[in-house]
Structure 1
Amino acid sequence: MRHLSADHVAFLVALVAPPAVAGVLVPFRDSLPNTSVALVLVVIVVAVAALGNRLAGALAAISAAVWFNFFFTQPYQRFTITRPADIQSALLLLIVGLAVSQLAARARKLKVVTITDADYLARIHDTAALAQNTRAPGTVVDHVTAQLTEVLHLRGCRFEYGTLTGHPPRLEQDGSVTWGRRRWDADRLGWPDTEVELRTFGNGRFYGRFMLKPTPGRVPPLQARLVAVTLADQAGSALDIAASDSGG
């Protein structure tokens, strides 16, 4: 009953909080950049997902995008957008909100602190913006490769398209590491002394894997590993969109 109650509260907050916060920020509309408003709304989405579940987080992301449109894109106080830059901002808010809400829901399920670090949010936002603005999925893959190297403090990282040779350790969707059929306690044992794969999917379809080369003695926290999984998912989405456009 406690979980049901929390979920019900989360759904209510998902509907009420975004318009309320957006309304409070309206007087500062002329001096506050839309990107700052969007980040504030993303934090609301994170809080809802951490309180409730994935569906509540998704609802909050949609609500945030709708009220961002209503209050902060011209013409104001109308559910229409006329400027391409505003359309892009609203879409990015929705994409980032959905991605971060899923990340927060994972963190809640694993009973760890929710991802609210500004650097992590900025990396997810930048990757979503790149995926939105480029038709070249390879550019997104290269960007994510660089992001993974920094987030996980790797010695190196490369992407293999559509291959599953060998049986290397694997970074899983929940941020854990498995090797063969066994769970590898990365927090206690450190990274395995070999490359670790992070598989990339788009719309359920396997497109390849990032091969992570750990730095000895450096163990990224669970939050960083969850961010890495989210970045890989964004690369998979870009590859899937490109495949759909080409009829593949």
Structure 2
Amino acid sequence: MRCSLRDRVALGAALLAPLATAGILVPFRTGVASTNPALILVVVVVAVAALGNRVAGALAALSSAVWFDFFLTKPFERFTVTDTNDLTTALLLLAVGLAVSQLAARARRLRVMTVVDAGLLARIHDTARLARTTGSSAAVVDQVGRHLVDILRLRSCRFEYGSLLGHPARLEQDGTVVVDREPWDLEARGWPDGEIELRAEAGGHYQGRFMLRPSPGVVPSRQVRQVAVTLADDAGAALEGEAPVLDG
């Protein structure tokens, strides 16, 4: 699965920031209660989750718990915890970090919803309700496709199941467009030639993709493009569990 630059940075931070923070705290580990370093690591998890997505936040939480155990609990520099209080602190650190990562992902979705008008919100709500109530993922995919044509003012839109083929231009999670993994100035240059890929993902996994054919000279706002991504993710959520997960 290919990620946006922001998500790649967040994943890197999820791996390295807890390690670096725990290392910095090593000289102070004998003079403070274990809960204090744990609180500092929680702050690191919050920062990573706010920067990235739920996957980065969860990875940061796991990394923080591991390095808290290794560097900051006795016996030091061993993956062993002998003190019950330290074990409880490590488990709470992991649990809090995982909860924060989910809240951060929801907050990113809510930020999109606060900047769109009532018509776009209605489409988001209708699609989410259909995804919850229908037993057919195809119905959700069809409805999302129609919404995408309307809000992005597309010439056409089709959905592809199965493995990723080729390397078309892609509409990213943050509403930007990349071509050959390089940012594309959509406002200045218009849509790139050919179809545009919009992936439907759930749980950090690829479920399928909408192939968008834009109308010449029509560039919707970034907020509208972010709504399109939200709708595609609703389709991905409906597909999750009905078909094998395929990572590109």
| TM score, norm. by length of structure 1 | 0.54
Q: After the TM superposition, which segments of 4 or more aligned residues of structure 1 sit over 4 Å from their partners?
A: 98-101
Q: CA deviation at 1:103?
A: 2.9
- For 2:191 and 2:219, locate their aligned partners in 1 and report how far apart those are by CA, in whole Å: 6
Which consecutive residues of structure 1, in runs of 5 or more, have no partner in the other structure? Answer: 1-53, 56-97, 108-113
Is 2:161–2:208's contact at 8 Å kept on the other side of the alignment?
yes
Q: CA deviation at 1:181?
A: 2.3
Q: Are 2:189 and 1:183 aligned?
A: no
Aligned twin of 1:195? 195
Task: State the aligned residue count.
Answer: 145
Aligned twin of 1:147? 147
- For 2:186 and 2:242, locate their aligned partners in 1 and report how far apart those are by CA, in whole Å: 34
- For 2:116 and 2:134, locate their aligned partners in 1 and report how far apart those are by CA, in whole Å: 27
Aligned twin of 1:171? 171
Aligned twin of 2:98? none
Q: CA deviation at 1:122?
A: 0.3
Letter in 2 for 1:240: E
Aligned twin of 2:111? 105
Equivalent runs, 1:79-94 vs 2, <5 Å: none
- For 1:239 and 1:145, locate their aligned partners in 2 and report how far apart those are by CA, in whole Å: 14
The structure that has the greater radius of gyration is: 2
Equivalent runs, 1:49-88 vs 2, <5 Å: none
- For 1:210 and 1:194, locate their aligned partners in 2 and report how far apart those are by CA, in whole Å: 13
Aligned twin of 1:205? 205
Which consecutive residues of structure 2, in runs of 5 or more, have no partner in the other structure? Answer: 1-48, 51-103
- For 2:216 and 2:143, locate their aligned partners in 1 and report how far apart those are by CA, in whole Å: 24
Q: Are 2:230 and 1:224 aligned?
A: no
Alpha-carbon deviations, 1:61-83, whole Å to 9, x = none? xxxxxxxxxxxxxxxxxxxxxxx
Alpha-carbon deviations, 1:28-50, whole Å to 9, x = none? xxxxxxxxxxxxxxxxxxxxxxx
- For 1:101 and 1:130, locate their aligned partners in 2 and report how far apart those are by CA, in whole Å: 22
| TM score, norm. by length of structure 2 | 0.54
Relative to 1, partners in 2 of residues 1:209 and 1:102: Cα closer, same or farther, differing over 3 Å? Answer: same
Is 1:207–1:236's contact at 8 Å kept on the other side of the alignment?
yes
